[in-house]
Structure 1
């Protein structure tokens, strides 16, 4: 099966997002996150295959296909900023093969001249800065909140050092979609799945 998200992976070019942004997300990411992002395409291919049977059994696989196969749009910071409804879909892995969670709130704001993402409600909250990856996507370098719903934590940075699977950093590839949604795809999370996708719709 051909997924639209894979086509966007062909070019990995670093640009500043807004004035004052670092030139390269590669210089900010941990070595572990660099490895996960390099193997992004493999995670999507494997996770889609693994989740297909489980998803079809409960009739919700098409929801994953919808967000993963929708054509991506130009990476326009102004269109990404603002309030979003968001839900996590876990694809593949040993946890359950395929899980769709409920809707919560997320936002993308300008912070210190850069784009900053935060999941505001629900469990497994996270936040971090976005770095323009190519003309149709950003890299999100996020960290889970303390206790999942507690204070925001800073991303580890290139030195890394966080090994607790509940607190380890969470890199993602973020794209605007032609139908007005957005998605953040987290390859090779430490727990439960082969990839997670955060589907985002406008509030």
Structure 2
């Protein structure tokens, strides 16, 4: 299983060579460690992670302005930016997952869409974990990196329609995805995807164990 998930990061080790470097090389203390999310993420995705709170606030404001205040309120902690709890580790196993798209990019899309439940899977990889959405027309697939006491970082790509293999991470900025994995209750997590490339201003994927 790990080969399919890690395949999309086969070129990630060379991402640094594609980015603009300072005239003098940074010291080892300043350079992101290989295998960390900062050493793997594209510049675009680092910016997404840095701007997560602003993206969330903009998405909530847009959805409320379009009449979805009650929908947001009904989701409780799931859509509250500061609801993350300690110990964000997402254990390996099968999950039920559903996506909520909040805010609109203004191209005729709705300001709030809550989808039904689909299937997701978390698998142990070589020293990391992967997250794969198995069903649905939009399927994030990628790796989970440790970060701090309240969040992990997801980096991956978006699989669409009947595609059987994801594109490599870093090869298509419209498919790259970056987000926060947080625990919001006992056996309840969320993947927060700020500034997605399509449709919404924020995607939130709720994850609960399948059994």
Normalising by the residue count of structure 1, what TM-score does the alignment of the two structures yield?
0.76
User: May I ask how many residue pairs the two structures share in their alignment?
Assistant: 174
Q: 1:15-164 residue pairs with structure 2 within 5 A?
A: 23-54=35-66, 56=68, 59-69=70-80, 71-75=83-87, 77=89, 79-93=90-104, 94=106, 95-145=109-159, 147-153=160-166, 155-156=168-169, 160-163=170-173
Q: Specify whether residues 63 and 154 from structure 1 end up closer, same or farther in structure 2 by C-alpha distance, changes over 3 A only.
A: farther
CA distance in 1 between counterparts of 2:68 and 2:194 reads: 22
Partner of 1:178: 185
Q: Give the conservation status (yes or no) of the 8 Å contact 1:172–1:186.
A: yes
CA distance in 2 between counterparts of 1:155 and 1:171 reads: 14
CA distance in 1 between counterparts of 2:158 and 2:127 reads: 22
CA distance in 1 between counterparts of 2:56 and 2:49 reads: 11
Q: Structure 2: give runs of 5+ residues left out of the alignment.
A: 1-32
Q: Give the conservation status (yes or no) of the 8 Å contact 1:55–1:61.
A: no
Q: Give the conservation status (yes or no) of the 8 Å contact 1:116–1:129.
A: yes
Q: How far has the Cα of 1:23 moved from its partner?
A: 4.7
Q: Structure 1: give runs of 5+ residues left out of the alignment.
A: 1-20
CA distance in 2 between counterparts of 1:22 and 1:82 reads: 27
CA distance in 2 between counterparts of 1:54 and 1:179 reads: 32
Q: Specify whether residues 177 and 105 from structure 1 end up closer, same or farther in structure 2 by C-alpha distance, changes over 3 A only.
A: same
Q: Specify whether residues 115 and 154 from structure 1 end up closer, same or farther in structure 2 by C-alpha distance, changes over 3 A only.
A: farther
Q: Specify whether residues 54 and 84 from structure 1 end up closer, same or farther in structure 2 by C-alpha distance, changes over 3 A only.
A: farther
Q: Specify whether residues 113 and 24 from structure 1 end up closer, same or farther in structure 2 by C-alpha distance, changes over 3 A only.
A: closer
- What is the aligned-residue RMSD (CA, Å)? 2.2
Q: Specify whether residues 142 and 98 from structure 1 end up closer, same or farther in structure 2 by C-alpha distance, changes over 3 A only.
A: same
Q: Give the conservation status (yes or no) of the 8 Å contact 1:80–1:176.
A: no
